[in-house]
Structure 1
């Protein structure tokens, strides 16, 4: 089945690489509407270096040792043949030459959402729907140590029981999720760079603070991220590989409905609804108006046929664990887990911070799925 993706807020899935002004030049360009926008041209530095004369190569290597090295200052007329890709620069604050930009995962210099990221988020949603009061009580009895820390071995055992069969030779062979195939998404050409800050909960009305390492200026600590920008459209395919004989042999017949497309849609819808409601509550408790406005609109967009899903950087503790379900059923148990996870207590909601783009005030990672296909 083909599934389309509408990006509702910037999506960042990192490649593990970072770069500075030694690998890009700032420039201007026109968008489709004819407006002038800021861009960064990411340069293929290796090929560019090989094109230089011997003297220029020596100059380049000498200048590169300067931490403030700026490729554009070295050569303001680098031919476009050495441009790997262009990134739209929507950062509010000017990017300093030494500031690292965290690269997004790409294939052939184009951005995409890995199928593993989509599948992992879907699995979290299915897990959320499957957990009941009985399992939560067992988690409380057998998974938590006295200090609230999670016993990872016991936790894995309980989680694996939800998705695996006892009849299979190995847990991997008996994992129902193995029979759900999710492809990588299609690609987009241009990343959008945002400067992202961490907004911290505060009980002082309209005085929510951004995390800062600078005790003198209190300037927000920023990270610069390549993202798939809002309003981009992508698609992927999702396949349920049900085989009666194989499922019967592995003892998975009782779990086959978990990877049924209708169950996936409903699970993703229910999980996102719970997460969005939690985010609205957080935003209202701490008077973060722009976040509350964003999530109220998201709440209206969420439906079973077109559910919302959160992927990639910024998803956080609640989006990727069973913490939200535990919070719903047992507040005291949730407090114990959060204290053990955090390592210290505080009076704010947990988690007490959110990653927010400086331009637009957007949280990261929200996409909408449409399983109707085309």
Structure 2
């Protein structure tokens, strides 16, 4: 849709596999959660305030807890699923274990000895995909497409010959990157500041915990795959977001590399993304020879077929944890050029210099040597597809205060816009409610008085709505 200062696209992201974008935090089975094992396993988070009060009641239990944590850390093979329940029963003399844990249960995919959990990014408990993650994946794809053009292919050939002679190529790489991303000190803005992507928010009950492992893509070494434990958004979930391409003569930046996006819009982005994804999938299918990863290969082949069948409307890309290094580097283009020249050693020297960072290591083994996959299914995290959001004439929903749950996402109508909190009304619920997130939503077209929005509600102890948080425009 064309606006005064650019083009805005209303899109939907759908998760083909679970998506995990880490926030840098971890949870431990020794201090934060336990897992109820069964046909379906669930995790429960520790109520730390109750736990600390119980420790104060039994002072001797503090030293006991520290001692048991140290022993558990030393014994890597010990099952830690019930470390906290066992401690509560034995040291705090309390059989009512569930009283110490928050009621909400989180589904756990796969089996394994719990380790530190890498948590995913959330805003007030609501998981989301940052627009920067989607934009970063798009930029990598556009860069790869640009590298396929004749002038850049000639430059890559020169780089490969220098790599063969083990000569430094940092300057050449920097020049390619600076030309494409137009890092010109004389420009007031970077070219890709013209491309903006909003965050995509999901319901808070769509989180799962997944046992993953780092599998070797070639023949097994005999060593156990390294375990990983990830918090992620469930596959199959969808969320709307917006992509905006600024186009105004007032923009103080060179628009050479981004001009095709301005001219062709979302079609150019979709073509570049699908081209890049197909190239990466083709490489992985041809280099993963470990027979234990047949499910991974089958998934990749099925995804290739789907991309080819749906590429006229949908783009497919990996984001977050689980993608290989090729999805965010110049590596695939170097591999393709070195292979076309019959000079694969140029690629291995590239790996030794920029990826593996070991000198004089020549390896006939394809890169990457390992792949992080879901343990139960042997498929990767992070694959999503993006397509235009279909507009509908959905009837406004009505709610009853007795039916609402804390953290629930509901429809609302904006009745007042101001910072920091706008005001909304919810059909069927008496009153006006503060809505946080106004600053983030102000740049969205359609964010105005009378607009319909989805908001996340927060309930107080009396079960009344204390505030709402903006999720998306409807």
TM-score range, shorter chain: 0.7 to 0.9
SS at 2:226's partner residue?
coil
Calculate the aligned-residue CA RMSD, in Å.
2.9
1:312-333: CA deviation from partner (whole Å, max 9, x where unpaired): 1121221111221232233234
Q: Does 1:23 align with 2:32?
A: yes
Partner of 1:74: 87
**Could you tell me how far 1:122 is from its partner in structure 2?**
0.6
Question: Residues 275 and 324 of structure 1 are in contact (CA less than 8 Å); yes or no, is this contact kept in structure 2?
Answer: yes
Task: Assess, with a 3 A threshold, how the Cα gap between structure 1 residues 164 and 373 changes in structure 2: closer, same or farther.
Answer: farther
For 1:48, which of 47, 50, 62 is the aligned residue?
A: 50
Question: Residues 195 and 357 of structure 1 are in contact (CA less than 8 Å); yes or no, is this contact kept in structure 2?
Answer: yes
Question: Residues 126 and 258 of structure 1 are in contact (CA less than 8 Å); yes or no, is this contact kept in structure 2?
Answer: no
For 1:126, which of 135, 142, 149 is the aligned residue?
A: 142
Task: Assess, with a 3 A threshold, how the Cα gap between structure 1 residues 72 and 53 changes in structure 2: closer, same or farther.
Answer: closer
C-alpha separation in 2, matches of 1:330 and 1:254: 25
Question: Residues 141 and 272 of structure 2 are in contact (CA less than 8 Å); yes or no, is this contact kept in structure 1?
Answer: yes
Task: Give the number of the structure whose alpha-carbon radius of gyration is greater.
Answer: 2
Partner of 1:258: 261
Partner of 1:272: 277
1:19-55: CA deviation from partner (whole Å, max 9, x where unpaired): 21120132379xxxxxx6311112342x334554731
- Aligned ranges 1:130-279 → 2 under 5 Å: 130-131=146-147, 132-139=149-156, 141=158, 147=166, 151=170, 154-164=172-182, 166=184, 169-170=186-187, 173-189=188-204, 190-202=206-218, 208-209=219-220, 218-246=223-251, 249-252=252-255, 255-258=258-261, 260-279=265-284
**Structure 2: unaligned runs, 5 residues or longer:** 1-8, 73-79, 89-95, 392-474
- Aligned ranges 1:272-351 → 2 under 5 Å: 272-283=277-288, 285-287=289-291, 288-302=293-307, 303-331=311-339, 332=343, 333-340=346-353, 341-342=355-356, 343=358, 344-351=361-368
C-alpha separation in 2, matches of 1:229 and 1:78: 26
C-alpha separation in 1, matches of 2:312 and 2:366: 29
Task: Assess, with a 3 A threshold, how the Cα gap between structure 1 residues 50 and 195 changes in structure 2: closer, same or farther.
Answer: closer
C-alpha separation in 2, matches of 1:63 and 1:120: 44
Matched length: 345
C-alpha separation in 1, matches of 2:122 and 2:60: 32
C-alpha separation in 2, matches of 1:51 and 1:316: 45
**Could you tell me how far 1:60 is from its partner in structure 2?**
4.7
Question: Residues 104 and 111 of structure 1 are in contact (CA less than 8 Å); yes or no, is this contact kept in structure 2?
Answer: yes
Partner of 1:63: 65
**Could you tell me how far 1:222 is from its partner in structure 2?**
0.8
Partner of 1:353: 370
Task: Assess, with a 3 A threshold, how the Cα gap between structure 1 residues 19 and 61 changes in structure 2: closer, same or farther.
Answer: farther
SS at 2:320's partner residue?
coil
Partner of 1:83: 102
C-alpha separation in 2, matches of 1:2 and 1:279: 32
SS at 1:244's partner residue?
coil
Q: Is the deviation greater in 67-76 or in 355-364?
A: 67-76
**RCO higher in 1 or 2 (8 Å CA, sep ≥ 6)?**
1
**Structure 1: unaligned runs, 5 residues or longer:** 30-35, 203-207, 213-217
For 1:100, which of 89, 112, 116 is the aligned residue?
A: 116
